[in-house]
């Protein structure tokens, strides 16, 4: 796997109440984590910064203009999942004070709202989302 890397971005989108707005992904073959819940975001295109990619992806997927909200970079996670022949460098951002009713869904089945501190083990969370929640909120 040496040298095979792809960059992606994702966002923890927080409501005014501190809940997360996440994507229930389409259940189609060929996409990462089909049918699972994950962050909104996607691939960083050639020549694009991670910030530009985040702005583009969130506008495309849910019509969210991050420049109108408080947002910040959190961390880049390097990971590979079973069956992958490359490593993903996934940059996680947080976007604050977004109202769910202001968003327009263009990708995925639904916008899911959840309490990140609750027991969400019954939900189909993507492996990346589980890792990011655990790290971001510092709990086991």
Structural domains of the chain in order of their starting residue, each with its CATH number: 5-136 (3.90.79.10)
The reported pLDDT for the residue numbered 82 is 76
Confidence at 2, pLDDT banded by 50, 70, 90: low
Distance (Å, whole) CA 53 – CA 121: 30
Q: pLDDT for 4-58, tens place per residue?
A: 899 999 999 999 999 999 999 999 988 888 899 999 999 999 999 999 999 999 9
User: Left (φ > 0), alpha (ψ -120 to 50) or beta: where does 63 sit?
Assistant: left
Residue pair 24/109 in contact (Cβ under 8 Å)? The answer is yes
Q: pLDDT for 82-138, tens place per residue?
A: 777 889 999 999 999 999 999 999 999 999 999 999 999 999 999 999 999 999 998
Angstrom distances, CA of residue 28 to CA of 43, 104, 109:
18, 21, 11
Q: What's CA 35's distance to the chain center, in Å? A: 14
Q: How many CB atoms lie within 10 A of CB 22?
A: 27
Residue pair 41/59 in contact (Cβ under 8 Å)? The answer is no
Give pTM, 2 decimals: 0.92
pLDDT score of 1 more than 70: no
């Amino acid at each position: 796997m040496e040298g095979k890397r792809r960059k992606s971005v994702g966002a923890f989108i927080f409501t005014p109440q501190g809940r997360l707005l996440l994507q229930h992904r389409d259940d189609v073959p060929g996409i990462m984590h089909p049918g699972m819940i994950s962050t909104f975001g996607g691939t960083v295109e050639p020549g694009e910064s991670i910030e530009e990619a985040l702005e583009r992806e969130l506008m495309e997927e849910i019509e969210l203009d991050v420049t109108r909200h408080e947002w910040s970079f959190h961390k880049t996670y390097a990971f590979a999942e079973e069956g992958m022949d490359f490593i993903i460098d996934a940059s996680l951002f947080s976007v604050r004070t977004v109202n769910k009713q202001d968003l327009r869904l263009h990708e995925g089945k639904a916008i899911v709202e959840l309490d990140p501190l609750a027991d969400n083990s019954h939900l189909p969370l993507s492996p990346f989302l589980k890792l990011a929640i655990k790290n971001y909120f510092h709990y086991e």
